[in-house]
């Protein structure tokens, strides 16, 4: 328990580092110049990076959540193989609920990439 | 996004007032209707006591689905709503699998189709609850066990009830749209690298969309069943005896 707390504290301390890197990378050359083309390129680059980071975090969380559900289902089947049909159905149901949260993120990413509602205001502040 | 919207016959039914995407989606929906009804008609042409061919496939599928519904909703009212749930299942399954044909678009990859289906399921839970336990029983079930927290619980249950069609829609839309985007990307990749080397890669990658289509169709049929069971108050009142009857039967079957 002590070691677990130590590792958890380390991860919490390292949490802002990732976002600092991301902010530095994506806003490093984000000084808006006067040309509309540069503003457009900057906008689409930021949108693409936001979608990629969001989807990566959602996939990470969904993978861990689904692996927990699958672990318990496999434990149950190993303990009692004749209940495998019922356990399989419950596992699929749980997996779909967890996966839905990652799918919400995917839907937002698709909307931002393909049907961006803010793309009309690029270049005019 | 041009290749995402192409229809297989390169023609769309000219519905006035729809955009091009809308016309493609409605054409493909009618196409899916024709496929499902056509295969159903072919399966029931010469019904025999020992099923063969498509009749066997349909009997297995509907029997399995009916078994699930009886498990979740009880033996009395399970088979009563099988037509609705099986319609959901067959339409969503056919609609998902159509998108795997190169050049076709799934009707379920559009949010309007999914919203229509989800609204049908949402209204159906209301009617199922009223039909099974009456209007007073349904409202009393929504108000919870204690009368003191009834307004809060009623509000919470109503808001949760509204979140169900949204989650049904977005789940199906996100999964099938992701599948379509994947196939579009594969097509573009095949266009760049040549089609012949891409065939084994596409065969291997296409397993995932097929599994996703099957699972999403099953989930779209299973979740309204669970919502119906929740609307009927399943598992809270006297249905416990029916549940233990079923498990006693299963225990007897396992013993013999």
For B168, the closest chain A residue by CA position comes to A100
Indicate yes or no: CB of B215 within 8 angstroms of CB of A107: no
Indicate yes or no: CB of A89 within 8 angstroms of CB of B174: no
Q: Which residues, 6+ apart, have CB-to-CB distance to B239 below 8 Å? A: B74, B233
Confirm whether B252 is domain-assigned.
no
Give chain A's length: 125
Among B1, B173, B215, the residue with its CB nearest the CB of A107 is B173
Q: Would you call B32 exposed, middle or buried from its count of C-beta atoms within 10 A (0-12, 13-18, 19+)?
A: buried
Among A58, A85, A100, A111, pick the best mutation site for testing chain B contact (most B Cβ within 10 A).
Answer: A100
For chain B, list residues whose CB is within 8 angstroms of any CB belonging to chain A: 1, 68, 167, 170-171, 173-175, 177-178, 181, 215-216, 218-219, 222, 254
| Distance of alpha carbon B212 from alpha carbon B239, whole angstroms | 34
Give chain B's length: 256
Q: Which residues, 6+ apart, have CB-to-CB distance to B93 below 8 Å? A: B213, B214, B217
Taking phi over 0 as left and psi of -120 to 50 as alpha, with beta for the rest, B110 belongs to beta
Confirm whether B78 is domain-assigned.
yes
Q: Provide the residue ranges of all domains of chain A, joining segments of one domain with +.
A: 37-125
Does residue B63 register a pLDDT over 60? yes
For A98, the closest chain B residue by CA position comes to B171
Residues of chain A with C-beta less than 8 angstroms from the C-beta of B170: 100, 103-104, 107
For B166, the closest chain A residue by CA position comes to A104
Q: Taking residues B112-131, what's their average pLDDT?
A: 93
Residues of chain B with C-beta less than 8 angstroms from the C-beta of A100: 167, 170-171, 174
For B167, the closest chain A residue by CA position comes to A100
Q: What is the mean pLDDT of chain B?
A: 84
Residues of chain B with C-beta less than 8 angstroms from the C-beta of A62: none
For residue B126, the enclosing domain spans: 2-235
pLDDT per residue over B164-173, tens digit each?
999 999 999 9
Q: Which tokens is A71 given?
A: 């672990």
What pLDDT is recorded for position B127? 92
Does residue B53 register a pLDDT over 50? yes
Q: What is the dihedral of CA B26, A97, B235, B124, to 10 degrees?
A: -10
Q: Taking residues B24-43, what's their average pLDDT?
A: 91
Among B1, B171, B178, the residue with its CB nearest the CB of A100 is B171
Indicate yes or no: CB of B177 within 8 angstroms of CB of A110: yes
| Distance of alpha carbon A97 from alpha carbon A75, whole angstroms | 20
Q: Which residues, 6+ apart, have CB-to-CB distance to A16 below 8 Å? A: none
Among A86, A103, A108, A115, pick the best mutation site for testing chain B contact (most B Cβ within 10 A).
Answer: A103
Confirm whether B119 is domain-assigned.
yes
Confirm whether B250 is domain-assigned.
no
Indicate yes or no: CB of A107 within 8 angstroms of CB of B222: no
Q: What are phi and psi of A50, to 5 degrees?
A: -65, -45
Indicate yes or no: CB of B1 within 8 angstroms of CB of A110: no
What pLDDT is recorded for position A33? 59
Indicate yes or no: CB of B170 within 8 angstroms of CB of A104: yes
Confirm whether B243 is domain-assigned.
no
| Distance of alpha carbon B84 from alpha carbon B52, whole angstroms | 25
Separation of CA A41 from chain center: 24
pTM metric for this prediction? 0.80
Q: Taking residues B92-114, what's their average pLDDT?
A: 90
Residues of chain B with C-beta less than 8 angstroms from the C-beta of A55: none
Lowest model confidence (mean pLDDT) among A105-109, B12-16, B159-163: B12-16
pLDDT per residue over A24-55, tens digit each?
555 555 555 567 788 888 999 999 999 999 99
What pLDDT is recorded for position A108? 94
As a three-state string, the secondary structure of A2-33 is: HHHHHHHHHHHHHHHHHHHHHHHHHHCCCCCC
- DSSP code of residue B12: -
What is the CATH code of the structural domain delimited by A37-125? 1.20.20.10
C-beta of residue B169 within 8 angstroms of C-beta of residue B119:
no
Q: Taking residues B179-188, what's their average pLDDT?
A: 86
Confirm whether B81 is domain-assigned.
yes
For tokens 């919870």, what's the residue? B144
Into how many domains does chain B fold?
1
Separation of CA B244 from chain center: 29
User: Is the CB of A104 inside 8 Å of chain B's CB atoms?
Assistant: yes
User: Is the CB of A55 inside 8 Å of chain B's CB atoms?
Assistant: no
Q: What percentage of chain A reaches a pLDDT higher than 70?
A: 84
């Amino acid at each position: 328990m002590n070691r677990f707390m130590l590792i958890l504290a380390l991860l919490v301390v390292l949490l802002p580092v990732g976002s600092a890197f991301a902010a530095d990378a994506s806003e490093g050359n984000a000084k808006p110049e006067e040309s509309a083309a540069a503003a457009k390129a900057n906008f689409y680059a930021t949108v693409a990076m936001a979608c990629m980071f969001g989807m990566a975090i959602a996939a990470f969380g969904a993978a861990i959540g689904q692996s927990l559900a699958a672990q318990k289902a496999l434990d149950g089947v190993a303990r009692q193989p004749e209940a495998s049909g019922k356990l399989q159905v419950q596992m699929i149901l749980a997996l779909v609920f967890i996966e839905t949260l990652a799918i919400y993120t995917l839907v937002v990413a698709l909307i931002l990439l393909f049907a961006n509602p803010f793309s009309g205001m690029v270049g005019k502040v | 996004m041009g290749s995402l919207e192409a229809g297989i016959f390169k023609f769309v039914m000219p519905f006035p007032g729809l955009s091009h995407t809308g016309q493609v989606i409605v054409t493909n929906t009618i196409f899916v209707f024709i496929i499902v009804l056509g295969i159903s008609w072919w399966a029931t042409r010469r019904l025999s006591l020992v099923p063969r061919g498509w009749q066997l496939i349909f009997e297995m599928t509907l029997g399995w689905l009916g078994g699930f519904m009886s498990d979740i909703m009880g033996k009395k009212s399970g088979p009563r709503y099988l037509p609705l749930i099986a319609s959901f299942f067959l339409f969503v399954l056919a609609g998902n699998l159509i998108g795997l044909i190169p050049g076709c678009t799934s009707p379920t990859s559009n949010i309007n189709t999914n919203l229509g289906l989800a609204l049908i399921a949402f209204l159906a839970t209301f009617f199922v609850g009223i039909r099974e336990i009456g209007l007073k029983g349904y409202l009393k079930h929504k108000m919870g066990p204690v009368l003191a927290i009834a307004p809060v619980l009623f509000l919470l249950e109503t808001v949760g009830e509204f979140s169900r069609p949204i989650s049904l829609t977005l789940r199906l839309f996100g999964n099938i749209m992701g599948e379509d985007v994947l196939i579009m990307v594969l097509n573009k990749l095949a266009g760049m690298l040549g089609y012949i080397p891409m065939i084994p890669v596409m065969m291997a990658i296409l397993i995932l969309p097929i599994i996703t289509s099957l699972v999403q169709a099953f989930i779209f049929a299973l979740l309204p069943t669970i919502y119906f069971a929740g609307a009927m108050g399943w598992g809270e009142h006297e249905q416990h005896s029916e549940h233990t009857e079923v498990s006693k039967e299963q225990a007897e079957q396992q013993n013999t």
